[in-house]
Structure 1
């Protein structure tokens, strides 16, 4: 399983639009690196956690941020449908920090405006050939982002993890169909984890996942070896002490 993951992660990234054109299922794409272009709808971000992270040797609680990556109208390189992106880890106080509402709201309004204008373009094209050019000149500028991520699936939480509560926006583990439903998206929405390595030191958050952590499992083969050596050593020690304790003593005459 570890070799399979490592081999998949070492493959060249593929364009998400090529996946859609080949009708490849997301289950067969898990642990594949994909490249997708779109615009983040940060107002609809979901925080999953708390999840601790070691910073300078100190454990700090935080969350993973999942944000929808929206298509950009009239952009052939953009994603064709919304993608859920795990942008990375943020500290607890980052969740309560107010977002840049003016910028995000304006960007969201620009996307809506582009969608409306695109609809007008297709409607009026047959009646007025110059209409699309006017719409194109007046269309607001949207700066798309490129995300390189790894296709992943839902988590299998342990019995100690509480159940998610979508009504109060509390998410303790990654339930991709549930998160998609909460955002009004199809349950089969693709979910990827950002693995961007070019982190800005002045603004590191959200901090993307290290690709090496995707290879790890909850219990690695080395852990099994350590457990084996530990328990066999303890068993040998207890057996030796029991033998010394129960060994009949020689009676001196």
Structure 2
């Protein structure tokens, strides 16, 4: 399994527009790298966690942020359909700020609509500024290029709580549910961004490194190590109990 994933990650990245979002195709392409180009819709970001991260020996809680990458008009290299991108780990305050912004957007505006009189008196102001507005250049959206790895939904253990989209609580990756929450089709492609060259001046989000990607939560070798450890402990406890009982018998 480990070698299979490593070989997949060594392959040249595919163009994400060549990948069909059908379930069978995605399963066969899992751990393949893809190159995607578009613009992130930050307002629809989903935060998965909390997930801990050890930094210089200090454990810090944070979240994985998943953001839709949207197509760019008049850009032939852009994605043709939205995809979900796990951009990496971010501190807890990223989620707090996102929730605050979402709550502020839901509040009704306190600005009263202009009256008819003010509209009549200000029409000339709009007319005088019209030429200036036309001269101003419309700001262009800078595209973002992402290299990521095709992944599927996580399989949570029995100890992981259920996701609650209504309260913005996401404890594990459920691709179809996250896509619905973002207003996207359930079969939306999901990738995890990878980047070994993190800019120290702008470190967040921190994408997963390749070593983390190739290792699942519990690899087969880990199962073997756990089994050996528990059997060793059981044997040691049994031997100590036997010696203690034997010493009591000799005293009698």
Q: TM-score range by the shorter chain?
A: 0.7 to 0.9
1:26 aligned partner: 26
Deviations 1:76-109, CA, capped at 9 Å, x for gaps: 111110000011110001222369x9xxxxxxxx
Match of 2:44 in 1: 44
User: 1:128-143 to 2 correspondence within 5 Å?
Assistant: 141-143=140-142
**Matched position secondary structure for 1:37:** strand
User: What CA distance in whole angstroms lies between the structure 1 residues aligned with 2:47 and 2:10?
Assistant: 29
Deviation digits for residues 37-92 of structure 1, max 9, x if unmatched? 11111121111111111112111111111111001111111111000001111000
Output one character per residue of 1:181-234: Cα deviation in whole Å (capped at 9) or x when no partner. 111110000000010222110110111111111111222344334334333433
Residue aligning to 2:151 = 152
TM-score (norm 2): 0.75
State the superposition RMSD in angstroms.
2.8
Q: Which residue of 1 aligns with 2:179?
A: 180
Match of 1:220 in 2: 219
Corresponding residue pairs, total = 213
Is residue 64 from structure 1 mapped to residue 49 from structure 2 by the alignment?
Answer: no
For residue 16 of structure 2, what is the aligned residue in structure 1? 16
Cα distance between partner residues in 1 of 2:178 and 2:146: 20
| Aligned-pair CA distance for 1:4 | 1.8
TM-score normalised according to structure 1 size: 0.75
- Once residues 251 and 97 of structure 2 are traced to their aligned partners in structure 1, the CA distance between those partners, rounded to angstroms, is 77
Structure 2, unpaired ranges of 5+: 102-136
Q: What is the Cα deviation at residue 140 of structure 1?
A: 5.2
Unaligned runs of 5+ in 1: 102-137
Q: Does 1:91 align with 2:91?
A: yes
